[in-house]
A and B are shown apart, each in its own frame.
Chain A
C-alpha cells in the first residue's frame, strides 16, 4: 500500500511575492525565525502576516519584550494600510513581557508565554524581538534558564500547541552558524537593509524552509504605505519555455516592410531582440512601430521607458499621436520608471503585471541604458544576470521582447552593446551611420536571429513622418561599418 505523506497546510503570508519566494506560503504549525538588523522591516513583515491571517477562527498573540516599545509600535504600524484596529484585542492580542523579563528572567518569560498560549490557544504566535531576550536575558540576575534551553523549550511547546510561530530577532549573519535557534527553526527568513551610495536597498532571503522548495537568493523588498512587497528574483514561468530551435514559430511583423523582409518575415514569437544603434539612429522609432503593428494584429503591447517622461516620449515620437490614441484605448501601456533605487525585479514585476492585465504579446524596453541608470548601484553590479532573468521571465510568458540599446559609433570596431549582453538575446538589429556621397546615411542590418534565416546585407533607411522606410541594400559598397562607404566591385564607377 502506498504511504501518503502528512498533508501540510500552507498559510498565505498576505505579503505580495513572499508566498512565491517561500515555495507556496508558510507551513502551518512551523516555527519560524525572522532575522535582521534593526530597522530592516521585521516588525512590519510580522504585523502584515498577522493582520492578513488573524480572524475569529484563527487568533494571534503578539508578545513584545524589550525591543520596540509597544506604544510606539502601535503608533507607527497604524500608518500601514494592513493595520486593522478592529482586530486589536479581539482576534489579535498584544502582550508585553518586559516586566516579566526584568523580574523573573527567561524562566518567567517562558512560563508567561506558555500560560498565555495555553489559555487562548492562538493559531499564530509572534515574539518580538528575540535578540533582545538573548542579549538582555538576565538583566537583574534573576532566572534559571540558558538561552539555548529556553529556545528549545519554547519551540517544542509552541509546536505542540498547533501554532504557527514567529520569532523576530536582531541577529548577525555569523549567528546562523552558531546560534541554536537557527537549527531549531523550521523556517529562517533574513531581512537586509543596505545603504549603497545614494540608495538604500532592502532584500529578503529565505535561508531555509522545511518541507518545501524556496526560491534561492536575495529578493528585493519594498516598504510602502500598503506594507511590504517582495519581488521574487526568479518569477515562476507562466508557460513552458519556447523551443529556440523551432523554425515554425509564428512571426511578429515589425510594421516596417523592408525590415520584415530582412528578418525573413518577422521576429519569431517569444524571441527577445536587441536594437542597437547610436543616438538618433531611430531605435525608438523602430520599437514603437513594432508595438503599433502588434496592436494592428490584435496584440496589445507594453512599453517600459526610462529616459523620457511619457508626455515627452509621445510628443517626440513620429508615431506619437497613434501611440497616444492607443494608450488611451488601453491597447498600449506606457510604463515610466525613473527612480534611481530600482531593482530589476521591481521593474519586471511591473511589466509582468501590465502584460497580464492587458494580455500583451509585445514588450519594448526603451532603453537598456536608461534602465541600467534607473537601478540602484547595488543592482547595476549584476545587470547582466538581472537582464537575463528579466528576458527569460518575459519570453516564458510568450511575449516578444524588443530592447533598445545605445552604442557609440566608433567606426573602428563593431560593438553591439556596452553591457556585453548581446549573447542574451535571440536577435540583434544594428543601426549605424555612414558617410555616403557626401551625406550621412543611416544603415541597418540584422546581425543575428537564432534558428531563422535572415538577410545579412546592410540596408539604407530613412525616417519620415510615418516612421522608418528601408531602402536598397548597399551591396555595391565596402567599408560601410567603418563609417565611410566606398563603391566596391560592381558599385565602383
Chain B
C-alpha cells in the first residue's frame, strides 16, 4: 500500500476543502472535484512538461491511488477499454464522502511525488503553487515524518 506523506496531506486537505466549499457530501461531488483539480493542474503544468507527459503522470497517480484505496474488484469496474480517469471516477462513486476526501488528498500527494521524481521537489512545488497560489504555502512543508 502506498504511504501518503502526512506533510503533503496537511496542505492538500485544506485545498480540497476550499475547492469543494468545506466538506464533500456526495460521491458525485467528489468526481466533479477530481475533474476540476485535473483541469487546474493541466492548465499550469502541461504547457511546461508537455500534455502527453502530464497525462502520463496523472494517469499513473490515479492508478497508484486506486491501488492504495480501492478494492481490486472495484478497480476493474470501468472495464479495460475505459480511460484511467473514467475508471477512477467510477470507483470513486462507490466510496463514502469521508473516504473520498482522503482519496483526493492522496491523489494530489501521489501526483506531486511523481512529478518531483522527474523535475525535483523545488520546481514541482513551484508549479503546484502556481496552480493554487492562494491556498498552497510558498514553500513545500518539510519536517520529521511521524
Is the Cβ of B51 less than 8 Å from the Cβ of A99?
yes
Give A64's nearest chain B residue, CB to CB: B50
A75–B120 Cα gap in the complex (Å)? 7
A93–B47 Cα gap in the complex (Å)? 8
Nearest 7 CB-CB pairings of A with B? A71-B53, A96-B50, A71-B49, A70-B50, A94-B48, A85-B123, A74-B119
A88–B50 Cα gap in the complex (Å)? 14
In A43-88, the 8 Å CB interface with B consists of 64, 69-72, 74-75, 78, 85-86, 88
Contacts A89-B127, A89-B130 given; does A70 touch B122 at CB 8 Å: no
Is the Cβ of A96 less than 8 Å from the Cβ of B49?
yes
Give B49's nearest chain A residue, CB to CB: A71
Which chain A positions have C-beta within 8 A of B127?
88-89
User: What number of A-B contacts does a CB cutoff of 8 Å give?
Assistant: 58
Which chain A positions have C-beta within 8 A of B47?
93-96
Q: Which of A64, A78, A95, A99 contacts B119 (CB 8 A)?
A: A78
Asked if A16 is at the interface (CB within 8 A of a chain B CB), the reply is: no
In A74-120, the 8 Å CB interface with B consists of 74-75, 78, 85-86, 88-89, 93-96, 98-99
In A275-309, the 8 Å CB interface with B consists of none
Q: Interface code B108-126, partner A: CB below 8 Å = 1, 0 otherwise? A: 0000000000111011001
Give A94's nearest chain B residue, CB to CB: B48
A85–B121 Cα gap in the complex (Å)? 11
Which chain A positions have C-beta within 8 A of B130?
89
Which chain B positions have C-beta within 8 A of A69?
49-50, 52-53
Asked if B41 is at the interface (CB within 8 A of a chain A CB), the reply is: no
- Chain A proximity of B119: nearest CB distance (Å): 5
Which chain B positions have C-beta within 8 A of A99?
51-52
Is the Cβ of A78 less than 8 Å from the Cβ of B120?
yes
Is the Cβ of B119 less than 8 Å from the Cβ of A96?
no
Q: Which of B50, B122, B126 contacts A71 (CB 8 A)?
A: B50
- Chain B proximity of A104: nearest CB distance (Å): 14
Contacts A69-B53, A89-B127, A89-B130 given; does A74 touch B122 at CB 8 Å: no
Is the Cβ of A70 less than 8 Å from the Cβ of B48?
yes
A484–B126 Cα gap in the complex (Å)? 80
Which chain B positions have C-beta within 8 A of A94?
47-49
Give B119's nearest chain A residue, CB to CB: A74
A86–B122 Cα gap in the complex (Å)? 9
In B97-143, the 8 Å CB interface with A consists of 118-120, 122-123, 126-127, 130
- Chain A proximity of B125: nearest CB distance (Å): 10
**Residue of A71, A85, A95 most packed against chain B (CB within 10 A):** A71
Asked if B7 is at the interface (CB within 8 A of a chain A CB), the reply is: no
A111–B64 Cα gap in the complex (Å)? 38
- Chain A proximity of B46: nearest CB distance (Å): 7
Interface SS, B side: helix
Is the Cβ of B120 less than 8 Å from the Cβ of A70?
no
Residues of B near any A CB (own CB < 8 A) = 44, 46-53, 57, 118-120, 122-123, 126-127, 130
Which chain A positions have C-beta within 8 A of B53?
69-71
15 A–B contacts from the bound complex (CB under 8 Å)? A69-B50, A70-B49, A71-B53, A71-B57, A72-B118, A74-B48, A75-B118, A85-B120, A85-B126, A86-B126, A88-B127, A89-B130, A93-B47, A96-B50, A99-B52
Give B47's nearest chain A residue, CB to CB: A95
A95–B57 Cα gap in the complex (Å)? 18
A75–B117 Cα gap in the complex (Å)? 9
**Residue of B48, B53, B127, B130 most packed against chain A (CB within 10 A):** B48
Which chain B positions have C-beta within 8 A of A78?
119-120, 123
Which chain A positions have C-beta within 8 A of B52?
69, 98-99
Is the Cβ of A96 less than 8 Å from the Cβ of B123?
no
A64–B47 Cα gap in the complex (Å)? 10
A75–B126 Cα gap in the complex (Å)? 15
Is the Cβ of A96 less than 8 Å from the Cβ of B126?
no
Which chain A positions have C-beta within 8 A of B44?
89
Q: Which of A72, A86, A89, A98 contacts B48 (CB 8 A)?
A: A89
A72–B122 Cα gap in the complex (Å)? 16
A95–B43 Cα gap in the complex (Å)? 11
A98–B130 Cα gap in the complex (Å)? 23
- Chain A proximity of B111: nearest CB distance (Å): 13
A441–B53 Cα gap in the complex (Å)? 76
A85–B57 Cα gap in the complex (Å)? 20
Which chain A positions have C-beta within 8 A of B48?
70, 74, 88-89, 93-94, 96
Q: Which of B51, B118, B122 contacts A85 (CB 8 A)?
A: B122
A85–B53 Cα gap in the complex (Å)? 19
A78–B52 Cα gap in the complex (Å)? 21
- Given pairs A72-B118, A99-B52, 12 additional interface contacts (CB within 8 A): A69-B49, A69-B50, A69-B52, A69-B53, A71-B119, A74-B49, A85-B123, A85-B126, A86-B126, A88-B123, A95-B47, A98-B52
- Chain A proximity of B134: nearest CB distance (Å): 16
Which chain A positions have C-beta within 8 A of B50?
64, 69-71, 96, 98
A64–B48 Cα gap in the complex (Å)? 9
Which chain B positions have C-beta within 8 A of A85?
120, 122-123, 126
- Chain B proximity of A64: nearest CB distance (Å): 7
- Chain B proximity of A200: nearest CB distance (Å): 27
